[in-house]
Amino acid sequence: MGRRNLILGVDVGTTKVAAVVGEPLEDGRTSVVGVGTSASRGIRKGVVVDIEATVRAVAEAVEKAERMAGARIRSAYVAIAGSHLGSTNNRGVVAVAREDREITAQDVERVMEAARVVSIPPDREIVHVIPRQFVVDGNDGIRDPVGMLGVRLEVEAHIVTGSITSIQNLLRSVYRAGLEVEEVVVSSLASAEAVLLPAEKDLGAVVMDLGGGTCDLAVFSGGSLFFTSTLPVGGEHITGDVAVGLRTPIPQAEKIKVERGLARAELASEAAMVDIPSLAGQEPRQVSERVLAEIIYPRVQEIFSLVGREIKRSGFPGLIPGGVVVTGGAAQLRGLTDVGAAELGLPVRLGVPEEVCGLDDIVGNPAFSTGVGLLRYAARARGEAAAGGRTSGARSALSRLAAWLKEMI
């Protein structure tokens, strides 16, 4: 169809699988040309629990996106989430190789490899090694040392690890759906690519990707990733509270939450009534919007309380001027950002994909932040690779794992 630089991003979430096809433009924007979604029935809290169901969901979403884009795509960037993910920080140090002391891309690659030498359990694998800052002869705060002069090169790196079996099951599901996996990307990191402004990254900000089964956090400072974490709570827990509180089936509770739900009772009206489909054998009834909001509020407050604890646990020094950017499908609950601001004592805004053209009426929505972010991440990674720049340091390890899985399948 004339497009040679199409990228496919696949977000395998707890409640839905979203496939997004796009191409990077010269002006820095992303043109989205295909979108597909399907109900996710094989994922629980971000982890594959039913491979066959996950394969069907991935294949369905990708087929819809390819049909809309008018192209067949063989490989994808895949988002990964789940409470099995963990993170740590490590430092790597090398001597500059060249006699004239000029730092090259090879020196950067060597120091990144040195940083990834960290003790992790045998059942875990490194997903990302992301530089927080470089230090040249004791001078810190350097983002790109290539071309500088120095004798000693150091890097402070953020390392994200995950359960090998969880990664394998995700990769296996994608392969069996007919796709190669170019790279696995942590969900919150992908979302940050779509919704976070450069100024927010520099000042210090938190991306909170609130999905169906998990809440993925990424803390940025000085333009780099500082901390990542995943909480096993999400929109499904709010839906469950509504189902129990109103004594109605889960599908109806989800519909009520989406259409009439409010996170703050102050925004609700006693006069506005909500129709409640009841369980078998019971008469349908009505409750006020305020009653519904009073069911939802405690869970939302709890989620932000847990987020606040994670931010403190991150060891982030000082304030977070950029505040918290909430995105993900469950972030669309009315009043949610107000509760977050009150609970965290920080500015909280709703994050939607920025700098998107094409199908922006569809993907300009928090539910597609991870999918669009995968396209942005892929475009940047390909640009760095074409320019001979540094890599994440983890791609080689995951590539070996992916190659082994492909042979097994």
Q: How far is Cα 393 from Cα 409, in angstroms, rounded to an integer? A: 26
Inter-axis angle of helices 289-313 and 250-260, to 10 degrees?
90
Q: Which class in CATH covers the domain with range 198-352?
A: alpha beta
Q: 3-state class of 113 per DSSP? A: helix
Tell me if 5 sits within 8 A of 68, measured CB to CB.
no
- What is the structure's pLDDT at 406? 58
Q: What angle do CA 341, 347, 348 make, to 5 degrees?
A: 65
Record the tokens describing residue 279, joined without a space.
């369980």
Q: What is the pLDDT of residues 236-294, one digit of tens each?
A: 999 999 999 998 989 999 999 999 999 998 888 888 898 887 776 677 789 999 999 99
What is the C-alpha to C-alpha distance for residues 384 and 185, in angstroms, rounded to an integer?
A: 16
- Residue spans of the domains in the chain: they are 86-163, 198-352
Query: Which of 8, 7, 14 has the alpha carbon at shortest distance from 211?
Result: 14
Q: Is 305 exposed, middle or buried (0-12, 13-18, 19+ CB in 10 A)?
A: exposed
- Is pLDDT above 90 for 103? yes
> pLDDT tens for residues 369-394?
999 999 999 988 887 766 665 444 44
| Residues 6 or more apart in contact with residue 292 via CB below 8 angstroms | 242, 246, 256, 260, 261, 262, 268, 274
Task: Tell me the pLDDT tens digit for each residue of 131-165.
Answer: 989 999 999 989 899 999 999 999 999 999 999 99
Report pTM: 0.88
Report residue 305 as tokens. Answer: 């309380």
| Top-level class of domain 86-163 | alpha beta
Residue 127 burial (CB count, 10 A): 26
Greatest pairwise CA separation for the chain in angstroms: 84
